[in-house]
C-alpha cells in the first residue's frame, strides 16, 4: 500500500507571532519555521503503518516556496521514502492546495492519504475535505486511531459526544488529530539519510493547476488586549457588577 502524506511549512508553534506594521499579514521575517504539528503526526502514523507491514511506501508532498524542502527532509528523516515539492511563490489557499494534491495523487496513485486536520497558521481545516471531494474518495476526519484490515480502514474519530468509529474502503483520506500518536524524535543519522533520499520538484503549471488566489486578505489584527481585573469587597458588589456593568446576569 502506497501512502501519500501532505506536509506544510508553518511558523513554529513555540513562536509568538507578530502582525506586520501595515496589517497585511503575519511577519515571518527571521522567524523559526517548522512542520505543521498535525502533519508531523500524519507522517509518524504513516511510518508506523509501514513498520507494521501495512504500508510499502510513504511519499511526503508539500506545496509552497523552495524552503519547504527543509520540511520535506524532516518528513523523510521521520520515515518517508521520498518527497515531492510543488514549488510556487503564490499564496496558496486550501482549494488550490487540494487541486495540487489531487494532481499529485493522480500521478502517484496512493491507496491512502493521511494529512493533518488543519494547519496552525490559517486554521482553515478545509484541505482534507476538499481533496476528498475532488478525488471522490471516502474520508475520516479527526482521527485518534487507525487500523488497516485488508482493503478496509477502520478509523476512530473524535466528535463532540465522544468517539465515533467508521469503516472506509480504500483508497481513502484520513485527517489526524492530536491524540493519534506522539511523533518520534528525529535522530542525526536519519537526518543524514534523508539528504540522500529522492526529492522531486514540480511547478503548478507542470500539473496543469491554476493556483490564483480566490480570496484577498484585507487586514490582519492582533486580538484586543484584556483589561485589568478589579477586586470587589463583597458578594453583593460582585453581583451588582455582573448585573449592571458586565450585563451577564
Cα separation, 247 vs 249, whole angstroms = 6
- Reading the block at residue 51, the C-alpha cell is 513498520
Whether residue 28 has pLDDT greater than 90 = no
Cα separation, 78 vs 43, whole angstroms = 7
**Contacts (Cβ under 8 Å, ≥6 apart) of 76:** 60, 82, 83, 193, 194, 197, 199
Lowest mean pLDDT among 23-37, 57-71, 95-109, 155-169: 23-37
Cα separation, 133 vs 138, whole angstroms = 8
Whether residue 19 has pLDDT greater than 90 = no
Per-residue model confidence (pLDDT) at position 23: 81
Lowest mean pLDDT among 50-54, 96-100, 102-106, 158-162: 158-162
Per-residue model confidence (pLDDT) at position 173: 95
Whether residue 86 has pLDDT greater than 90 = yes
Whether residue 222 has pLDDT greater than 90 = no
Per-residue model confidence (pLDDT) at position 117: 92
What pTM does this model have? 0.83
Q: What is 2-223's CATH topology? A: Rossmann fold (3.40.50)
- The structural domains of the chain, with segments of one domain joined by +, span 2-223
Q: Is 4 exposed, middle or buried (0-12, 13-18, 19+ CB in 10 A)?
A: buried
Q: pLDDT by residue (tens digit) across 116-139?
A: 999 988 889 999 999 999 999 999
Amino acid at each position: 500500500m502506497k501512502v501519500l502524506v501532505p506536509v506544510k511549512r508553518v511558523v513554529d508553534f513555540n513562536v509568538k507571532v507578530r502582525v506586520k506594521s501595515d496589517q497585511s499579514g503575519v511577519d515571518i521575517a527571521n522567524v523559526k519555521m517548522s512542520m505543521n504539528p498535525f502533519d508531523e503526526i500524519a507522517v509518524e502514523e504513516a511510518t508506523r503503518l509501514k513498520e507494521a507491514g501495512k504500508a510499502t511506501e510513504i511519499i511526503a508532498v508539500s506545496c509552497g516556496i523552495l524552503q519547504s524542502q527543509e520540511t520535506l527532509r524532516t518528513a523523510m528523516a521521520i520515515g518517508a521514502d521520498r518527497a515531492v515539492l510543488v514549488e510556487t511563490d503564490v499564496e496558496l489557499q486550501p482549494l488550490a492546495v487540494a487541486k495540487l494534491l489531487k494532481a499529485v495523487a493522480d500521478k502517484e496513485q496512493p491507496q491512502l492519504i493521511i494529512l493533518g486536520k488543519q494547519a496552525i497558521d490559517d486554521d482553515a481545516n478545509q484541505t482534507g475535505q476538499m481533496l476528498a471531494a475532488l478525488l471522490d474518495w471516502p474520508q475520516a476526519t479527526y482521527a485518534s486511531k487507525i487500523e488497516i484490515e485488508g482493503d478496509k480502514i477502520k478509523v476512530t474519530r473524535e466528535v463532540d459526544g465522544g468517539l465515533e468509529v467508521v469503516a472506509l474502503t480504500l483508497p481513502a483520506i484520513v485527517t489526524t488529530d492530536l491524540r493519534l500518536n506522539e511523533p518520534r524524535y528525529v535522530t542525526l543519522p536519519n537526518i543524514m539519510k534523508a539528504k540522500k533520499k529522492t526529492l522531486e520538484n514540480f511547478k503548478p503549471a507542470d500539473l496543469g493547476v491554476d493556483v490564483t488566489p480566490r480570496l484577498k486578505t484585507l487586514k490582519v489584527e492582533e486580538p484586543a488586549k484584556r483589561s485589568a481585573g478589579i477586586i470587589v469587597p463583597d458578594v453583593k458588589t460582585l453581583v451588582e457588577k455582573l448585573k449592571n456593568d458586565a450585563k451577564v446576569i
